[in-house]
Each structure stands twice: as C-alpha cells, then as structure tokens.
Structure 1
Amino acid sequence: MRQVSDSRTDSLFYKITFCGVLLSGAIAVGYLTAYVGELVPLLTIFISVAVVFLTVLFRRPITGLFFLLGYGFTLFFFSRELGLNIQWGIGQELLLLLTWIATVFYRDKNEWTVLSSDIVWLTVAWFGLSVLQIANPSGVSVMGWLNEIRTTALVPLLTIPLTMLLFRSQKHLNTFLKIGIIFSLLATLNGIKQLYFTLSPGEMEFLTENARTHMIFGQLRVFSFFSDAGQFGASQAHFVLICFILAIGPFAYWKRALLVIAGVVLFYGMMISGTRGAFFVLSGVLVGLLLTKNFKILAVGLVMLLCLIMFLKYTSFGQGNYHVRRLRTALNPTEDASFQVRMNSQLALRDYLQDKPFGGGLGSIGANGKIYNPGTFLANVEPDSYWVKVWAMYGLVGLTLWFCMMLYIIGKCCGIIWNIRDPILKIKLIALVSGALGVFISSYGNEVINRVPASLVVLMSCAIVYIAPRWDMKPDETGSITSVIKQ
C-alpha cells in the first residue's frame, strides 16, 4: 500500500512540476514579447514544433519522407506568402539529411543490403559525373554549379536509397499515394479560388512579376501552390493518371468512385493551368494499360485516348473556351509561335555545343545561368525543356547517359511490375510507373522532372517499385495465392 501511495505522490509531483514549468515558460514568453517584440512568440512556436517533429522523426524516420512530400507540394506557397528572405528550397535537403540521421540511429535493424541495387549505383554514378562537372573547361561559376547540383544529382542521391530503406509495407505505399492525391486536390481547390475568387497578397505579387507568362490574352493561367502554371498543370496531370489507373483496380466500388471523382477534379485543375505540356504526361497511360495485361481495358483506353486526340485536333468544338483552345494548340505545334522559338533556340544550342561534348557545365543555363553566369551565351538561352537543359549542361555525352539511365530504370520498373502477382499491389505500382514515364516524356517540353513535387514523386515512385517484390503475394501450400500484406 505504501508503494502505491508513494507512486501516486511521485505522479502528482511530476504533474505539478510540469504545470509549473509551462506556467513559467508562458510568463517568460509574455515578458520577452513585451520588451523584444513579435519575434519571441514566433520563435517559441517554431522551436516547439521542431522539438515535436524531431521526436516523432527519430521514433519513426519514415515520417521525414512523408513530411518532405507534403513540403514539396507547399514549398512555393510558403516562399510566396511568408518570404522572409529564406531559401525555402534548402528545406528539402535539410529534411533529407535529418531523415538520414534518424535512419542511422533508428533502434530497429535497417536492411542496408537493400541498397545493393542498380538504381542506387546509377544514382551514385550520376552524382559522381555531376561533381566532376565543377572542372568543366567552360569555366562556369562554382556557386552556379553548387545550386544546380542540388536538384540535378544531390536530391536523387539522398531520396532513392532512403525510400528503399524506409518503405517496408503496402501501408507505407498507401500513405504515399494518399498524401499525393490529397495535396493535389487541395492545389486544385486553391487554383479554383485563384481563377474565380481572389488572389492572396503573395500570389498577386507573383502574378505582377510574371504577367507576361501567366496572363495570356487577359486570361489567368492558374499556378496554385506551385512555382508556375507549367509545374501546376504537369503535377495535376501526373495525379490524374494515377487516380484513373487506380480506379480500374480491384478495389471496393466506393473507393473506385472516389478515385474517378478525384481524377475528374484534378483534370479540371490541369485544364485551368493552361499548360499544354501537361497533356503529354497522360501519354504514360499507354504503358500503364499494357502492364495490366488486360487487353480489353487496353483497347478501351486506346480508343478513349484516340477520341480525345481527334476531338482536339480535328474539331473546333469548345473553341470558345480558353482552356480547351490552349490545350488544342499542343497538337498543332507548327502553328504555335512559341514552338518555333524553341526550335530556333535548339538549333543555336546545337551549333554552340558542337565542340563541347560535356556541355557548358552545371548552372550555365536557366535561372542559375542568369544569376551566376550573366552575359554568357547559355545564360541568355531559355531551355524550356529539361532534356534540353541536360544537353546544354552535360553535353551530348551527359544527355545520352542520362537518357539511357532513365529509360533503363523505367524499363526495369516495368519488368518488375510484369512479374508482380498481387493484383492490388500491381495496380498501385502500375499507377506509379505510368506517372513517372508521363513526367519524363513531358519534360521534353518543360522543366518538370527536376522540380518539386514532381521530382520527389518520380524518385520515390521508382524506388518503391524496386522494393515492391518484397511485399508481393506468395503461393501457400495448396498452390493458391495468399497476400503477405493485408489491406
């Protein structure tokens, strides 16, 4: 009885002490706020959130990857609305590094052997080639190289192995898909708000600075949370593809209905972005339908895609709608002035790069080229395409290696999926690889695959497919198929 009494006394003591600490902290914050200003409560909130996040992260490191994915969708929202002269892009590298540290110290045993995979070694090799670009004879700025290598090679190097280490079940895959779909739906809702209601102060400032590309004939190209309308449209198309492919899977009818509704909403988000390149993300559906091994669905899908192309190319129905008219120009590139400008730029790049097999170096073209290498030839050329950007930075040698690497990884993913036996797992993986292929193809027209959130989704998707055979169904003693993972 005495032990019980002592235990209750100790518990009461700790509760009183905890309340005393909280009360003292609140008084201290109030006092400092009165004398220092609003920075004190903001700093207090930040520290409190950081402590909670780090506690959760070191208990469940995969939380870091899920948080990173959500951050990728909202990064530019924070950048526009909060500003604060902070390089918000560094946040993704910081999250990845913290997650790596938490993974190393995770109390459970990590299966490090999973990293002995060709996708990891290819990523390491690409990072090594990118590091060597600092010695490119073109003499680009070291700061330009440093800023470019982060998205080009460092983020893939940190993300792919980490995903393979931490994703251990279909439950993690389900969470990954839910986060992507939910944030995409929120992005569409915010886009509808921009188009039909009002812009926030940060959005208005962005539009003022980018009116030339985001106000076409007085019509807003919606950009939502993203860096620009092009990225918004491509990301929406990415998840349109994922939702519609999942909707043909062996799920309950209500789940399939919700996926179809989500796909339709996201398709509308793609349309109001006014992004023609997003249309080519949907081309990934062809490989997705082939991987289903269901030739009836494949035939129906091909007919639907053909009907959409014929509707856009050979009819004028809906021409009065700006978004339909804008999308229709994607199938008539020769009549588009911007397409001709791109072709002329590529011809000029071809002449410039003839004697530069390893390109002009990282950070020589695009935004980093303008900032860190002003006045140079490449800095004055708009890449308008990630394929072209890789060609300009790495040369023909680097472009060939990158192109072959991407085709090999996507092809290997297709081979893995072809042999998956669990129908529920299979359709999820088909959705991922179809989206990744669509983003890769659309990156010929825009910089998509190297920008968040598309870059994170594609990298994590490929890594997930590589480790998915561990979650596949296994034959039981009677010869039937039994799932290892319960849905």
Structure 2
Amino acid sequence: MLTFIKNITKLILPKIFVYAGLLIFIVIFYKATMQRGCNFGYIIVSMPFVAVGLYLLLKNPLWSFIILFICNYFIMGITRYITLPVPISVFMDSVISFIFLALILKTIHTRIEWKRVLNPLTLIIFIWLIFCIIELLNPKLISFADWFTKVRSIAFYPIILIVLVSVLLNKYKHIKLILLMWSVLTLLAALKGYWQKNHGFDSAELIWLYNGGAKTHFISTGIRYFSFFSDAGNYGSNMGFSLVVFSIAAFYIKNKWLKIYFLIVALAGGYGMVISGTRGALAVPFAGYAIFILLSKKWEFAFYSLFILVSAICFLNFTTIGNNNQTIKRMRSGLDTNDASLNVRLENQKKLKEYLKDLPFGAGIGFGNTPDINSPDYEFSGIPSDSWLVRVWIQTGVVGLSLYIILLSAGIISGGYIILFKIKDKELGGVLAALLAGVVGMTASASGNEILGQYPTCYLYFICFAIVFMGKYYDKELEEHEQLT
C-alpha cells in the first residue's frame, strides 16, 4: 500500500506543480495587463521564453557566437528602423561579455583548450594593444573617454575576436558553418542592394539620405547603393570580400552542390560590389586574387589568373570602353590619377602631413571625437580621413602607422607560411587561402576606405584572420578522421 501511495505521489505531484505554476502565471499576466496595459503583459509572457533562451545560450557559447556574427551583420541597418535602448557599441559589448560569461561557466564542467589562443596572430595584436595603451601618455590626448571609444575597434575587438575564434571554432565543421552563414548574409545583402536599385529606397532609408547620406550617395556618376550597411563604401568592400572568399573556396570545396552554391554567392558579392559604386572596393579583388596566385602553388592557374587580373586593370585604366555605363565609369575613376575626388583626398592628406610633422605619435587615439572650437587643432579635427590607414596615422602618428602596417604584414606572411607549408588537406588549404586572400584584399581596401573600424567588416576581418591561424588544428583533425575511415 505504501509503495502504491509513493508511485501515485510521484505521478501526481509534478502535475500539481506544473498546473499551479501555470495558474499563478496566468493570474500575474492578467493583473499586469489590467494594471499596466498590454505591452507590459507581453513582457511578462515573454520572460519564461527569454529565460530559457538565455540558459541555452549560456550552455552553448558557440550559439552565442553565431548570434554575435549575425547581429554584427545587421546592426547598422537595423538602427535605421528602430532606436536601440543603448548605443550600438554598448549592445555589441554586452553580447561579447555574455559569450565570455558562457565560456567561464562552461569551464566548470568542460575542458576548454585555451592553449589555442597562443598563436602568432594573438602576439601580433597584443603588441598593437600594448602600443595603444602606451598612447594614453600622448600629451595631445584629450580624454580617457575619447581614447576608450576609439581603441575598442582599433585594438580591443581584434584580440577579443581572436580569443573567441580560437576557443569556440575548434572543429572544421564550424568553419563550414561560418561560411554557410556568411553566404546567406551575403545573398541577403546583395538582394537588398538589388531591391534598392530596381525598386527604390524605403521610407527609413530616404530619411537617412535626407539627413546627410545623399551627399555621398547621390553623386555625378550615379547613385551609390548601400543595402543594409552603414554606407556604400562599407557595403562595396564587404561584398568584394565575399566575392574573393567564395570564388576561391568554390574551387576547393569537395561537395559539388556546395561548389555551385559558393560560385553563386561570389557572383552576388560581385554584383553588390559593383552597384555600391565604391572605387576603393576594387582593391579587394585585385589584391586578394594577387595574393591567392602566390598561395595556389598551381603555376598554370596562376598564369591565367594573373592574365585576367592585368587585363581587367588595362581595360579600366587604358580604355574608354563602357564609359556610357555609370557603373563602369565610376570603377574606372578609381584608377584615374586626375580624378577630382582623389585630388581632394590628397590635398587633405597634405594638410594633415603638415599638422602631424611634429607629432610622431599622432594627435592621440580619439582625436576628432569631441572637437573643441577654441582648440588650435579644431580645423584639423574636421578634415575627413577617408581611409582607415589615414585614421590610424592621424591618431597614432607615423610611428603608430608604421608599427600597424608591419604587424599586419607579419600576420599575413605568417598566415601564408601556415597555408603553404603546414596544411596537408587540399580542401582546408584552399578554404584558408580564400580567407587570407580576402583579408589581404580588405587590408588593401583600408587604404581608401574606413572599413576596418565599421560593422560588420571589423569583426569579419579578424574572424577570418584568426581562422587561418587555427589551420594546423583543423588539419590534424582531418588527418585523424581520414586515418579512422
């Protein structure tokens, strides 16, 4: 009899708690709705789902990283339609902090290979971070707040992303997952650009254009389309990034359907790059394919690739074919040394050179954030840099710019060495070569656009860079898998 009562209790008690909980929840929802309105009631209803979602994300840091990856891509476009309760940088910092919290909690019951973080790229970016911290001693620095606002994109985000990639993307299948997500986002970005070009801008985009965006997007050579990115320059370079990565990866991926799909994504990326009207974006495929020629180790393929590359440059630089097409004309102006826009940039750089001649460590990180009209530097703080490398030069001087270029070059050379001499698996080697080619292309484009400090490019750039340095772990994994099968 006692056993029977125990069994009944085990069956009934859980149901009693469930029904009681539901009843309490319904009462709370009813009272909240009646007293505070429907919106407050909806918040109450969503709380259990939010709690479950946060629990799952804490339990699986990789899912949190995927959300960060997606948010990074859409965050600038979303702000045209809704006002976030906090600044964009604070929102993204919160997501990153959440991922680190999830990692710390995961270490309690799972072994995490933190040793993967110790690689040449981490050391390179750490050296740059130390230099940026030393910049706090720069006598031209206005305030710690200005320094911190800018140093996040310059130094903190890169090293944080390298750590996250090294720890979370620990399987080759994770790299394929990142590529698949990126491919979908690229197609959406290209589709949005196509819609803007053929169906016009929506009300939120028109407001953004009216409030100043039109000055740089409605120009004499035509309209520059920007999709859901911050501007056309960011959009064009990012689409060029996708063009390079997916066109190269398509030749190495073994799966036939994935190969075809990646080629379609590459074409979509090329389309987005062209309609953006961004001349600086041309540097991405030119530099990216050039470095891939060196990494391919297939000299016949390299010869044909070099021939196509040189032919494209000659077509744009030495002919007038297609000048009646605004897109081709705009791209051609990127190689024209007499272009008016280019000359304005060069004049601005002459003024900055004169200002910085006695400032080897620059005007301080954060220069231009809060210009003081009474400051003797006021007229220089308003000069547009028009380039990420020029921005680094202004804020850290010739010393900082030289160090920055040396460190990035060292990272690219180290990544190339890994691909050429350390990777045995052909598919993996091709994917890593595609990512590094994209990184090189974006580095070249940074000389003409402020892209490495903007979402989503700043994150995507260092995620791809970090994956290259994880190559030896993926190669070992694939080798062990091959031996088992």
TM-score (norm 1): 0.91
What is the DSSP-based 3-state SS (H/G/I as helix, E as strand, rest coil) of the residue aligned with 1:483?
helix
Which residue is equivalent to 1:73? 73
Deviation at 1:12, TM superposition (A): 2.8
- 2:395 is equivalent to residue 390 of structure 1: no
- 2:455 is equivalent to residue 452 of structure 1: yes
Closer/same/farther in 2, CA of residues 82 and 130 from structure 1, 3 Å limit? same
Closer/same/farther in 2, CA of residues 373 and 358 from structure 1, 3 Å limit? farther
What is the DSSP-based 3-state SS (H/G/I as helix, E as strand, rest coil) of the residue aligned with 2:363?
coil
Which residue is equivalent to 1:101? 101
Which residue is equivalent to 1:165? 167
Identity, % of aligned positions: 26
Deviates more, 1:171-180 or 1:271-280: 171-180
Deviation at 1:288, TM superposition (A): 1.9
- 1:234 touches 1:270 (CA, 8 Å); kept in 2? yes
User: Which stretches in structure 2 are left out of the alignment for 5+ residues?
Assistant: none
- 2:247 is equivalent to residue 273 of structure 1: no
Which residue is equivalent to 1:316? 320
1:432 to 427, 435, 438: 435
Listed as ranges, the matches of 1:151-300 within 5 Å are: 151-209=153-211, 210-217=213-220, 219-282=222-285, 283-300=287-304
Closer/same/farther in 2, CA of residues 369 and 423 from structure 1, 3 Å limit? farther
Listed as ranges, the matches of 1:367-446 within 5 Å are: 368=369, 370=371, 376-418=378-420, 419-446=422-449
Cα root mean square deviation, aligned: 2.5
The count of aligned residue pairs is 476
Mapped partners of 1:128, 1:224: distance in 2: 36
- 2:307 is equivalent to residue 307 of structure 1: no
CA deviation digits over 1:304-325, x for unaligned, max 9? Answer: 2222222222333332222121
Deviates more, 1:11-20 or 1:163-172: 11-20
Deviation at 1:430, TM superposition (A): 1.0
Closer/same/farther in 2, CA of residues 27 and 224 from structure 1, 3 Å limit? same
Mapped partners of 2:372, 2:302: distance in 1: 47
Letter in 1 for 2:406: C
Letter in 2 for 1:297: F
Letter in 1 for 2:187: L
- 1:188 touches 1:224 (CA, 8 Å); kept in 2? yes
Deviates more, 1:317-326 or 1:383-392: 317-326
Greater relative contact order structure (CA < 8 Å, 6+ sep): 2
TM-score (norm 2): 0.91
- 1:236 touches 1:267 (CA, 8 Å); kept in 2? yes
Which residue is equivalent to 2:54? 54
Mapped partners of 2:196, 2:168: distance in 1: 37
CA deviation digits over 1:308-358, x for unaligned, max 9? Answer: 2222223333322221211111121x1211111111111222221111111
- 2:141 touches 2:365 (CA, 8 Å); kept in 1? no
- 1:81 touches 1:201 (CA, 8 Å); kept in 2? no
What is the DSSP-based 3-state SS (H/G/I as helix, E as strand, rest coil) of the residue aligned with 1:462?
helix
Which residue is equivalent to 1:115? 117
Closer/same/farther in 2, CA of residues 118 and 352 from structure 1, 3 Å limit? same
User: Which stretches in structure 1 are left out of the alignment for 5+ residues?
Assistant: none
